[in-house]
């Protein structure tokens, strides 16, 4: 078994993990980023057709320019190329395709054991003064709770629209991802019903203005059949049943009879949550929205020396510009503690 020692080990090679690594480097601390898949794996899984809603300077890792022609917003491909360039230019230390077996607090520091993926054969033991959990909120898609939600034509991730050409598709969800998926599918000539729980006025409040604009145009042109104030009652092979319901994020109250809409395929894009099994395996208590309990000032979890960063911290940080700033702050806190002799 190889043995290595670092000031900081960062779990997760997403934007927050990369920002934390750059901050560690800037402060002269040794670091290693461990990811159970490849670099920025969440972004790899985003829709192939995605154009981000943020400008490139907001998607950048601090201090490293992310140029875009004519100030366009980056596509998924642009972002993947950019983060590869950051990792290469900054010579970040990466151990990708390694999953975490255990993180333990010992007198000498934190002991991390990982296993090589995908064959899971070799294990590696490493030690760190601090470990940062930057594993994100992308791992587990939220599932609908209605009958039929597990049928094979119900998907929780969207990659590419062409295979749905000409088919009736129900998209469920009220966020930017659901709406842009509905728009992309509609442009590819799928016949779209978009079902949202929230009634018309509030549903716009958490959507980007240009997403609302494009949706309104598509609805006006009859390209998207928008149903708001509804929940999915049940899903069958060729159709789904929607039911009017008073909006309540936890327990919506049905207030009308279910009615069918054509649905050869269903995309349930209702958000995702952290890998709760992994976080529980580390012995961490979770908040109601499945994030590790941590100190709001220091971001330290219940395990001394184990910190959280990026979108895992809170919904308010689930945007690259905020996640990168918070990740850098965590490293500053760790650096101060290490400088003060706290291990
Ligand atoms: C469709 C979509 C569009 C978006 N558009 C924008 C936008 O325009 N602008 C914006 O600012 N934000 C956008 N976001 C949000 C943004 O992607 C997230 O805020 C950001 O990715 C969070 O970064 P992170 O590093 O915290 O987590 P992630 O990017 O999720 O990275 C987590 C990393 O941890 C790894 N990992 C997971 N579990 C483990 C484990 N157990 N051990 C080791 N590694 C692990 C993963 O493989 C991954 O590489 C969008 C999100 C989605 C879903």
pLDDT band at 343 (very low <50, low <70, confident <90, very high): low
Is 98's C-beta closer than 6 angstroms to any atom of ligand 1?
no
pTM of the model: 0.94
pLDDT band at 121 (very low <50, low <70, confident <90, very high): confident
Is 279's C-beta closer than 6 angstroms to any atom of ligand 1?
no
Q: Is the pLDDT of residue 202 over 70?
A: no
Q: Within 13 Å, how many C-alpha atoms sit on residue 133's CB side?
A: 32
List, for residues 92-110, the tens digit of each pLDDT value.
999 999 999 999 999 989 9
Q: Is the pLDDT of residue 252 over 90?
A: no
- Decide which of 212 and 80 is more confident: 80
Cα dist from 264 to 136, 151, 165, 170, 328, whole Å: 32, 11, 11, 8, 46
Is 168's C-beta closer than 6 angstroms to any atom of ligand 1?
no
pLDDT band at 342 (very low <50, low <70, confident <90, very high): low
pLDDT at 196: 95
Cα dist from 63 to 20, 232, 328, whole Å: 13, 45, 12
pLDDT at 35: 98
pLDDT at 71: 81
Which among 5, 4, 111, 92 is positioned nearest to 40, based on CA atoms? Answer: 92
pLDDT band at 207 (very low <50, low <70, confident <90, very high): confident
Distance CA 189, CA 102 (A): 48
pLDDT band at 327 (very low <50, low <70, confident <90, very high): very high
**Which residue has a Cα nearest atom 5 of ligand 1?**
52
- Which strand (E) or helix (H) includes residue 26? helix 15-26
**Which residue has a Cα nearest atom 13 of ligand 1?**
319
Distance CA 331, CA 266 (A): 42
Distance CA 93, CA 315 (A): 28
List, for residues 46-63, the tens digit of each pLDDT value.
999 999 999 999 999 988
Which DSSP string corresponds to 62-82?
Answer: TTS----GGGPPPBHHHHHHH
List, for residues 4-51, the tens digit of each pLDDT value.
999 999 999 999 999 999 999 999 999 999 999 999 999 999 999 999
**Gap from CA of 14 to ligand 1 centroid (Å):** 6
pLDDT at 62: 82
Tell me the mean pLDDT in the region 170-187: 96
Is 49's C-beta closer than 6 angstroms to any atom of ligand 1?
no
**Gap from CA of 42 to ligand 1 centroid (Å):** 5
Cα dist from 127 to 8, 31, 341, whole Å: 9, 11, 17
Q: Is the pLDDT of residue 204 over 80?
A: no
With a CB cutoff of 8 Å and minimum separation 6, the contacts of 288 are none
**Which residue has a Cα nearest atom 33 of ligand 1?**
12
List, for residues 263-306, the tens digit of each pLDDT value.
999 999 999 999 999 999 999 999 999 999 999 999 999 999 99
Strand partners, 75: 51
Is 265 within 8 Å of 164 (Cβ atoms)? yes
Is 87's C-beta closer than 6 angstroms to any atom of ligand 1?
no
pLDDT band at 201 (very low <50, low <70, confident <90, very high): low
**Gap from CA of 312 to ligand 1 centroid (Å):** 9
pLDDT at 14: 98
Q: Is the pLDDT of residue 1 over 60?
A: no
Is 114 within 8 Å of 98 (Cβ atoms)? yes
pLDDT at 63: 86
List, for residues 298-317, the tens digit of each pLDDT value.
999 999 999 999 999 999 99
């Amino acid at each position: 078994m190889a043995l290595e020692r670092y000031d900081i080990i960062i779990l997760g090679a997403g934007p927050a993990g990369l920002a934390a690594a750059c901050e560690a480097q800037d402060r002269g601390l040794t670091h290693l980023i461990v990811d159970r898949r490849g670099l920025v794996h969440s972004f790899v899984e985003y829709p192939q057709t995605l154009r981000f809603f943020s400008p490139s300077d907001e998607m950048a890792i601090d201090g490293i320019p992310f140029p875009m022609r004519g100030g366009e917003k980056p596509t998924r491909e642009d972002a993947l190329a950019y983060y590869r360039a950051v990792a290469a230019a900054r010579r970040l230390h990466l151990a990708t395709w390694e999953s975490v077996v255990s993180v333990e607090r010992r007198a000498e520091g934190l002991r991390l054991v990982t296993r090589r993926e995908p064959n899971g054969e070799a294990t590696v033991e490493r030690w760190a003064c601090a470990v940062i959990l930057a594993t994100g909120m992308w791992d587990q898609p939220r599932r609908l709770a209605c009958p039929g939600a597990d049928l094979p034509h119900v998907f929780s991730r969207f990659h590419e629209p062409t295979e749905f050409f000409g088919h009736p598709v129900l998209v469920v969800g009220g966020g930017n991802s659901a709406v842009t998926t509905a728009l992309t599918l509609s442009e590819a000539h799928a016949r779209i019903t978009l079902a949202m729980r929230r009634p018309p006025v509030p549903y716009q409040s958490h959507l980007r203005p240009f997403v609302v604009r494009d949706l309104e145009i598509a609805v006006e042109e009859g390209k998207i059949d928008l149903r708001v104030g509804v929940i999915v009652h049940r899903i069958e092979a060729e159709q789904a049943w929607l039911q009017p319901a008073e909006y309540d994020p936890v327990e919506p109250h049905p207030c009308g009879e279910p009615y069918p809409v054509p649905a050869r395929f269903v995309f349930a894009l209702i958000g995702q949550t952290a890998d709760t099994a992994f976080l529980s395996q580390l012995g961490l208590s979770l908040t109601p929205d499945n994030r590790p309990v941590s100190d709001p000032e220091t971001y330290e979890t219940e395990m001394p020396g184990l910190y959280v960063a990026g979108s895992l911290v809170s919904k308010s940080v689930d945007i690259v510009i905020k996640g990168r700033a918070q990740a850098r702050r965590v490293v500053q806190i760790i650096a101060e503690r290490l400088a003060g002799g706290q291990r």
